[in-house]
């Protein structure tokens, strides 16, 4: 079974290089019939991104059925470049359309973070200007700005980056996103998630379900159902010092304001405000009588449940005690329907 099939429309620079691709209806693990139909556009085997013209789209429409056939018919009248992308096997990407398809599979919630191979994507994602007129090659930006000015217009540049904002491609159901520029394409935003203005979600990261996000979810980090990331808090991702350790936050956990974690956090855990725990942090483990029973590194407590991490206000030592209070989010506040 192939991994993915998608018809897309995107942007190319003047050299014909792809800058970005929008896939409205990507198909994850398509049936054999879709892959067979792709042969009408010249698909043979393997992972391919095939530029389409009107003739190929009409041929595809005749072989496809349902919404994919309707999409092919619509794209036949597109003034922008169109592409068929087929991913037969999940390996390192070989083209820009393939990378964009993989990122959109995650943002469409068809694949969870770490569920698809994203190795090598940075070399295939061009660094472009994201503007009020879409993606523009950096070498072509100055001419585009001049042309806009000559027409009495302003070409606004929102960012210069390899990743666009997710909501220009996917707006997941049941979510609230206060500042769309802070959620990158390739984020997985679970049903019921609220992302406040200072919240951030990188690619290949996200939330499983109902969560309040006012802090940073770094690349590779996945937050469990019902957890809360307080204002200004941080999670250490694979791109920010976490190395090969996959950082996650369990269910019904809380990372307080301006706190942070560099270890996987279990269910029903709390990290007090302002406390940053890395794998090598020395932690005093306390018993029910608040006596130190052992001293460990924080990595030894990774993924353990019902823990409260705090700093002793007198000695400054970092302590860990059993946390009997689970975090329960306000259901009315988080109703995003």
Mapped onto helix, strand or coil, the DSSP state of residue 57 is helix
One of 214, 225, 251, 319 is an active-site residue; which one?
214
H or E element in which residue 310 lies: strand 307-311
Burial state string for 204-226 with b = 16 or more CB within 10 A and e = fewer than 16: bbbbbbbbbbbbbbbbbbbbbbb
Distance, CA of 86 to CA of 97 (rounded, Å):
10
Neighbours of 239 (CB within 10 A): 14
Distance, CA of 47 to CA of 91 (rounded, Å):
9
Mapped onto helix, strand or coil, the DSSP state of residue 87 is strand
H or E element in which residue 223 lies: strand 222-223
Catalytic residue at 214?
A: yes
Tokens at 260, concatenated = 């942070």
Count the residues in the chain.
337
Give which of 242, 256, 251 is closest to 204, Cα–Cα.
Answer: 242
104: CB partners within 8 A, 6+ apart? 6, 23, 26, 169, 170, 185, 186
Distance, CA of 219 to CA of 9 (rounded, Å):
27
Q: What amino acid positions are annotated as catalytic residues?
A: 214
């Amino acid at each position: 079974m192939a991994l993915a099939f998608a018809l897309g429309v995107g942007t190319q620079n003047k050299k014909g290089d792809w800058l970005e691709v929008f896939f409205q209806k990507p198909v994850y693990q398509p049936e054999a019939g879709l892959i067979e139909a792709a042969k009408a556009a010249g698909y043979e085997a393997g992972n391919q991104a095939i530029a389409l013209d009107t003739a190929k789209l009409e041929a595809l429409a005749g072989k496809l059925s349902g919404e994919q056939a309707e999409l092919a018919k619509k794209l036949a009248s597109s003034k922008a470049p169109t592409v068929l992308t087929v991913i037969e096997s999940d390996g390192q990407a070989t083209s820009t359309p393939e990378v964009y398809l993989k990122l959109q599979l995650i943002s469409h919630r068809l694949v969870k973070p770490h569920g698809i191979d994203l190795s090598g994507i940075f070399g295939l994602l061009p660094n472009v200007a994201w503007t009020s007129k879409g993606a523009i090659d950096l070498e072509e930006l100055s001419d585009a700005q001049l042309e806009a000015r000559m027409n009495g217009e302003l070409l606004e540049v929102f960012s210069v980056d390899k990743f666009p904002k997710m909501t220009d491609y996917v707006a997941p159901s049941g979510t609230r996103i206060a500042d769309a520029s802070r959620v990158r394409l390739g984020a997985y935003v679970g049903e019921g998630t609220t992302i406040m203005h200072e919240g951030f979600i990188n690619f290949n990261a996200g939330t499983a379900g109902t969560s309040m996000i006012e802090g940073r979810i770094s690349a590779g980090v996945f937050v469990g159902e019902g957890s809360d990331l307080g204002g200004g808090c941080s999670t250490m991702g694979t791109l920010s010092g976490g190395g090969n350790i996959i950082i996650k936050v369990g269910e019904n956990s809380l990372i307080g304001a301006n706190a942070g974690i560099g270890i996987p956090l279990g269910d029903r855990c709390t990290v007090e405000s302002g406390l940053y725990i890395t794998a090598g942090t020395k932690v005093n483990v306390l018993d029910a009588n608040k006596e130190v029973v052992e001293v460990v590194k924080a990595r030894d407590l990774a993924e353990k449940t019902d823990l409260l991490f705090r700093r002793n206000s007198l000695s400054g030592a970092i302590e860990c005690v059993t946390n009997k209070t689970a975090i329960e989010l306000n259901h009315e506040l988080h109703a995003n329907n």
